[in-house]
Amino acid sequence: MAKYDNISELEPDLSGAGLKIGIVMSRFNVDVGEGLLGSCTAALIRHGVAEADITLATVPGALEVPLTLKAMAQSGKFDALIALGAVIRGDTYHFEVVSNESAGGITQVQLLTGVAVANAILTTDNDEQALARMSEKGRDAALVAIEMANLLKRL
Ligand code: INI
């Protein structure tokens, strides 16, 4: 990124040491959920988050994720949160409702509580797309959570 001599730039900090991370995973498409979880926790640990500092809650579906995140955020126990799951068009007649409401709820949790939430609820047309994307999405969510936790501590 461009450097500006007289601007103090807060560089992205991807060190996870000491951070407490809460994860909420939807069990609705459990194979995708577990794929997201595996790559997400591996990336958290690779970046220095201690296993003992990761807490996982699982919920029935994506619509239950925001309330659970809110409770975790309000507990004051976490530096950042991660939402994992998959809403798959072929599995639901109300795809737009489930995907939009869960994403909107997740954004609301961040803004209401001030705790960052990395949203890795995949929205795809079919199972194949979800399975193809889960590894990268889980890893990205880990990095987003760490970066945002560190950024918000410095603001
Ligand atoms: N929940 C998901 O996480 N993914 C989906 O694809 C899905 N579909 O297909 O409907 C889904 N629905 C369940 C929903 O999230 C709630 O659990 C349910 O409506 C009860 O509140």
Arithmetic mean of pLDDT, 71-95: 94
User: Is 94 annotated in the active site?
Assistant: yes
Residue 5, pLDDT above cutoff 90:
no
Residue nearest to atom 19 of ligand 1 (CA): 63
pLDDT at 71: 98
pLDDT at 88 over 70: yes
3, pLDDT greater than 70? no
Q: Which atom of ligand 1 is least distant from the CA of 91?
A: 9
58 lines ligand 1 (CB under 6 A): no
- Tell me how far apart the alpha carbons of residues 58 and 136 are, in angstroms, rounded to a whole number: 20
**64 pocket-lining for ligand 1 (C-beta < 6 Å):** yes
Q: Cα separation of 26 and 24, whole Å? A: 7
pLDDT at 1: 58
| Alpha-helical segments (H) within 2-126 | 30-46, 65-75, 95-113
Give the mean model confidence (pLDDT) for residues 17-31: 98
Task: Confirm or reject: Cβ of 28 under 6 Å from ligand 1.
Answer: yes
- Whole-model pTM? 0.96
Nearest ligand 1 atom to alpha carbon 59: 17
Higher pLDDT, 94 or 59: 59
C-beta separation of 101 from 140 below 8 A: no
Ligand 1 midpoint to CA 64 (Å): 8
Ligand 1 centroid distance, CA of 75 (Å): 25
